Amino acid sequence: ILVQGAEPLFFLDYFACGKLSVDTAATVVGGIALGCELAGCALIGGETAEMPGMYPEGEYDLAGFAVGAVEKSTMITGATISPGDVILGLASSGAHSNGYSLVRKIIDRAGAKPTDDFHGRSLSDVVMAPTRIYVKSMLALMSKMTVKGMAHITGGGLVENVPRVLPENTQAVLHRDAWQLPQLFQWLQKEGGVEDAEMHRVFNCGIGMVVILNAADAAAAKAQLESTGETVYQLGEVAARPAGAHQTIVI
């Protein structure tokens, strides 16, 4: 919704379990309500389903969807992105919602426990930090200047998500020294023996959202985003794509 320039309007959830635990359901729905508040949208309803025999005790299934609105003429498609445009990255709050199969394997391999201290916090709190929601910051930015493209850095990491908004003849050139790998990802890479290329493919590596705009707007955009609480890095630039080259490279 957001990456197409739309404003979220409302959200509905679906919560299914074998036997309903009121406390668990209340905690989950409370978290959803907080997420909606951060996104500036309404939680207008949902469904709770008890299905005995379908779920082990203590487990539940959670799903949901959101609806947003944008004028067709102002939709952000990435079609106007061109060589010379600047790529900004907004800091993530952690692993967000991706790469957890590998995270679990690395934790097992390292012999780590959820309660282990990790730079002043428990490892579980760091690994399970809620995904940062960028809606209000980005809507404020879009009200002030033209954003050519946006991409959430989810499954596939930087190298597979940025190309979703790039024209075929362009390439995102990201500079690995433009931002510092957060402590969590440093630890995962070290303990798991994960190569840089795999890190960039699996994890967000500290960047939860990428924003592409005209180079002349980069400084003002960075300042605007920082004024709304975001940590922002100038990751690189858009270049002409050589024949047969990948659409995103990290150098």
What residue spans define the domains of the chain? Answer: 2-74, 86-250
- The pLDDT score that the predictor gives to residue 145 is 96
Minimal CA–CA distance to 76: which of 138, 3, 133? 3
Q: How many CA atoms lie within 13 A of 161 on its CB side?
A: 24
Low-confidence ranges of the chain (pLDDT < 50): none
Residues 6+ apart with CB under 8 A from 124: 114, 115
pLDDT of residue 124: 95
Distances from the Cα of 8 to the Cα of 40, 109, 210, 219, angstroms = 7, 40, 19, 27
Question: What per-residue confidence (pLDDT) applies to 106?
Answer: 96
Instruction: Tell which CATH architecture fits domain 2-74.
Output: 2-Layer Sandwich (3.30)
Predicted local confidence at residue 148, as pLDDT: 98
Do you know the residue count of the chain?
251
Q: Which residues, 6+ apart, have CB-to-CB distance to 60 below 8 Å?
A: 15, 16, 17, 24, 25, 28
Nearest to 83 by CA among 145, 143, 173, 5: 173
Rounded (5°) CA angle 150-156-158? 50
> Residue 226: enclosing H or E segment and its boundaries?
helix 218-227
pLDDT of 147 reads 98
CATH number, domain 86-250: 3.90.650.10
pLDDT at 171: 97
Residue 106 corresponds to which amino acid? I
